[in-house]
Amino acid sequence: MTKAQVLVVGAGLAGVGAAVELARAGQPVLVADRAPRAGGAIHRQPLPGRAAISSHAARWDRLIAEAQALPIDWAFETKFAGLDHTGTALLSGATNRLMRPAALVLALGAREAVRPRTGWTLPNVTTAGALQIELKTQGLAPQGRVLLAGNGPLLIAVAAQMTRLGNPPVAIVESAAPFAHPLHSLALPLSYLREAAGYMATLIRARVPILTRAEVVAIRAEGTALSVRVETPKGPRVFTVDRVGLHDGIRKNDGGVTACAAVPVLALGDCAEVLGARAALASGRAGGIALARALTNGTPRETVPSTTLVRERAAQQRLARIYAHDAMARLADLPGGTVICRCEGGTLDDLRALGPTPRVRELRLLGRFGMGPCQGRSCGEWVARASADDPGLPPPDTPLGRARWPLAPIAIADLIAATSDTGAAPLPSEGT
Amino acid sequence: MDDLGRYDAIVLGAGVIGASTAWHLVQAGLSVALVDAEGPAAAASGASDGAVSVASKKPGPLARLATASLLYTRNLAADGPLMHGYHPRPTYIFGSGPAEGAAIDALIAKLDALGDAVRLRRDGAADLLPGTGASVERLVELTGEGHMPGYVAVAGYLRDPRIVKIWPARVRGLEETDAGVIVDLGTRRLHASRVIAALGVSTTTLFPQMPVIPRAGQLFVTDRGAPGALPGALTSAAYLLAKTTDMTALPRPPVVIDPLSTGQYLIGSTREDHADPGRVDFATLQKLMTRAAETWPALRNRRVIRAFAGVRAAVSDGLPIVGLAPGSTRVTLATGFEGDGICLSAVIGREVARMAADEAPTPALSGDLAALAPTRFTALQEGAA
Amino acid sequence: MSGPVIYWRDRILAFTPGESVAHALTRAGIAAFGPGPVGVPRAVFCGIGQCQMCLVQIDGRTVEACLTLCRDGLRVGPEQEINHD
Ligand SMILES: Cc1cc2nc3c(=O)[nH]c(=O)nc-3n(C[C@H](O)[C@H](O)[C@H](O)COP(=O)(O)OP(=O)(O)OC[C@H]3O[C@@H](n4cnc5c(N)ncnc54)[C@H](O)[C@@H]3O)c2cc1C
Ligand code: FES
């Protein structure tokens, strides 16, 4: 029997970093990603022949060269549906396979959070991350008048990248007041400051307005354009734009996968803790080394104390302080018809109809929150915050119950076509 | 310990059986508290399909009670608590191969004997229902049955404001005295002259002598599409076999394809002897979906978005447990409905409420209800001793 | 049109090899991918296959436009329209 593969889900820095270390240690590795190419969020690769945008291209080029020199199997355009209690994983899409991996590495990357706002479900309103992906794959700035809004350093990065490609955004609307904390900012690692200074210089040169302590309160469709109402400390403003990119921070994202007796599970990179690119690569490599050692020697996996992780954690905490704001409270003021759960169309009114402290079962069965394809992975935070006394407090980890497989919908035709190398037992005791 | 109150009756367990019982008790003018460890429909009733089906019942008491419950459910749906819960629709039973064919013949004979609540409308092959796959050799259409999601039924019964709802509150113990029953909730106590325990698979925590066994079933839900493509449930004859025989290996996977009002499909189910709702596996999903998509090929274009397992409360002899707890004059058990509780809930709630009010059961059902008495197990134990 | 194309309803759209259906539609000015089943319009939101908002029909199957690559001759339509078979 050939040795079982380690399944690495996610071909970003953490996943490829782990795959490289595992393969180097002689472990057979399969890397699966739903995207068509490796790269993940930060190193999303351009279409063939287009220019790469990513600011640390050399880091990625080195890593991918390492990976290509090692015997690693790749499965792109392939979704990981989850790991069941028997230790079977399901891959579907371009590769359709039921497999029993020797171990599972989750390197799914972070999830972008977008707080519900009036009009946030309109076409041409996307996450800022979606705009950035478009920009990175196309090698071109998204066209038309673009407004970026929400909270966090990503807005500045996307704005600067758009500007450099010739289409600066109309404005950045930021919930916090990041420039009001010069002391915190100076305590950031030099690499952060250098990158931020570069972005800011670009934006200042292009005179991109950055409105701070400001909020998009409503987006309306006006013909083919979008009319965006913004509240600022100096009063309301209205922007007419073609596209809006929203972003309210980044969340970890392990999909609710739990270990089972048969298969060790290791979450690495942003999906385990949002610490950014450097930490993701460090965590991927360290995790890969530790896992390979555990698989070879049967020694327990020890967590390697990494200076990179410690440093990045401190930096992220500073960033969080710089970007702190109290705009979560606005959830409570949204009109009742605002959609909270995009999958099932559940509104704030639907949520309120369940009474003051709805239980998980009621939220799910009667409110249908968490019953759509995302199973509450996206809306859970907003459901929890909107029904909490203080929407500003961090919500519980699983407000809509433990997320279960599938992590992503499974096409039935793919499932039926899936080969199985699990030697799966027949249906347990059926008919008894 | 706080004394929280006195009620004529306290119902333990806010599943579909407990909710129906509580509703029937308040209709009779009793003061009623309904207690649950978690909340409404927290166990089997919130993790089941909702076929209100006579076809799938074992011949005998279960089939007759199911028939009565179906008729009564229609009444409660006309202008009562199940108004938004119950939807009539046809049932299609399909089969391939001799074993499933024979099961369909047996079904037709059983329905004949039960009167005309459920009728055989057509008996033929795949072409009887456009869209059915060519692997289907035999297909029959039944009319008279329907669908009722358990949690919707529970919500319907609980809409009656006279039911005092107490949750989350886990019952630690019961103490029966000459004056009544004390229900111990840990931090507080309730008093009632009668208690009804409708605790599903948790029955054994308070009544360890009852042979209630967990039997899990996996269910899978697809994404939404245009509703109405499939007018009723498509049930494999193997599913009937799974419910009525002790076969360990069925001829084909026992699949049920249930169209939901949302335009989704719910596909089930297995019968597994354990109590772990976390055991949902890809091999089973693949096996059930393969047969489901052979039967209803439109499924090939759908996606599975949710997978879960419910845990049914089964009983060693295959019959539910309904009646006074052995040795008690005040505590009534209503449990062990395995895969049939949604269907039976209307009539069981009514009859248990009558028992608790010291009324005689509905005459036509008294014999079948007597067959469900918990004392059948104590008699057995004494006999064996 | 000489290069490879996809079809969106009655429109013919050129694409760059390796491009996602979502990006080809976006570049052609098509942002609204039709009504969803519960009233939330279908359109790109997350761009990475997570939010399930960009669903379209291809060959009778529901797929994420943002994860599906263009192939020459692909017929793409709104999620809800193709079910009337
Ligand atoms: C996969 C599956 C499919 C099914 N399909 C169908 C179908 O198509 N048609 C049909 O008719 N039936 C079906 N059933 C069966 C049906 O769901 C059950 O028979 C029915 O829901 C049982 O209801 P119940 O009220 O007895 O138990 P439950 O719904 O299990 O309720 C028991 C309640 O007791 C509470 N509880 C437990 N312990 C305590 C304690 N110590 N203190 C307080 N509260 C406590 C629990 O929280 C729970 O709310 C199916 C079941 C499953 C699992
Ligand atoms: S845009 Fe979110 S899944 Fe495609």
Q: Where are the domains of chain C?
A: 5-81
Alpha carbons A392 and A381: distance in angstroms, whole number: 11
**Contacts A406 to B, Cβ<8 Å:** 304-307
Nearest Cα residue to B362 out of B159, B82, B69? B69
A:B CB pairs within 8 Å: 130
Whole-number pLDDT of residue A109: 95
What's domain C5-81's superfamily in CATH? Beta-grasp domain (3.10.20.30)
Alpha carbons B358 and B356: distance in angstroms, whole number: 5
- Please give the structure tokens belonging to residue A139: 């090698």
pLDDT-above-90 percentage for chain B = 87
Alpha carbons A137 and A135: distance in angstroms, whole number: 6
Classify domain B4-45+152-211+318-384 at the CATH class level: alpha beta
What value does the mean pLDDT of chain B take? 93
- Give residue-wise pLDDT tens across range C20-73: 999 999 999 999 999 988 989 999 999 999 999 999 999 999 999 999 999 999
Alpha carbons A62 and A16: distance in angstroms, whole number: 11
The ipTM assigned to this model is: 0.95
The yes-or-no verdict on residue A432 having pLDDT over 60 is no
Q: Is the CB of C50 under 6 A from ligand 2?
A: yes
- Please indicate if any CB of chain C lies within 8 Å of the CB of A41: yes
Q: Please answer yes or no on whether A130 and C19 come within 8 Å at the CB atom.
A: no
Q: Please answer yes or no on whether A41 and C46 come within 8 Å at the CB atom.
A: no
Strand A339-341 to A346-347 pairing: antiparallel
Q: Please answer yes or no on whether C43 and A345 come within 8 Å at the CB atom.
A: no
The yes-or-no verdict on residue A301 having pLDDT over 70 is no
Whole-number pLDDT of residue A302: 64
Q: Please answer yes or no on whether A361 and B278 come within 8 Å at the CB atom.
A: no
**Contacts C18 to A, Cβ<8 Å:** 36, 47-48
pTM of full prediction above 0.95: no
| Residues B6, B12, B14, B19, Cα dihedral to 10° | -70
Nearest Cα residue to A15 out of A75, A69, A99, A102? A75
Among C23, C26, C30, C44, the mutation site with the greatest number of ligand 2 atoms within 8 A of its Cβ is C44
- Give residue-wise pLDDT tens across range A378-416: 899 999 999 888 898 888 888 888 778 999 999 999 999
CA angle B193, B196, B200 (to 5 degrees): 160
Domains and CATH numbers, chain A: 6-111+251-317 (3.50.50.60), 125-248 (3.50.50.60), 326-387 (no CATH)
Alpha carbons A144 and A141: distance in angstroms, whole number: 9
- Please indicate if any CB of chain B lies within 8 Å of the CB of A92: no
In terms of C-beta distances under 8 Å and separation of at least 24 residues, what long-range contacts does C28-35 make, across chains too? C31/A123, C31/A124, C32/A123, C33/A123, C33/C65, C33/C78, C33/C79, C34/C77, C34/C78, C34/C79, C34/C80, C34/C81, C35/C78, C35/C80
> Amino acid letter at B200?
G
Whole-number pLDDT of residue B312: 96
- Please give the structure tokens belonging to residue A225: 């354009």
Domain ranges of chain B: 4-45+152-211+318-384, 90-144+212-315
Q: Is the CB of C52 under 6 A from ligand 2?
A: yes
Whole-number pLDDT of residue A294: 93
* Cβ A132 vs Cβ A53: under 8 Å: no
Torsions phi, psi for B106 (to 5 deg): -65, -40
Say which CATH topology domain B90-144+212-315 has: D-Amino Acid Oxidase; Chain A, domain 2 (3.30.9)
Helix (H) or strand (E) holding B305: strand B303-315
In terms of C-beta distances under 8 Å and separation of at least 24 residues, what long-range contacts does A65-68 make, across chains too? A66/A20, A67/A16, A67/A19, A67/A20, A67/A23, A67/A38
Q: If you search the block for the tokens 């309306």, which residue do you land on?
A: A220
- Give residue-wise pLDDT tens across range A154-202: 999 999 999 999 999 999 999 999 998 887 788 888 889 999 999 999 9
What confidence tier does A428 reach under pLDDT thresholds 50, 70, 90?
A: very low
Q: Is the CB of C31 under 6 A from ligand 2?
A: no
Whole-number pLDDT of residue B369: 97
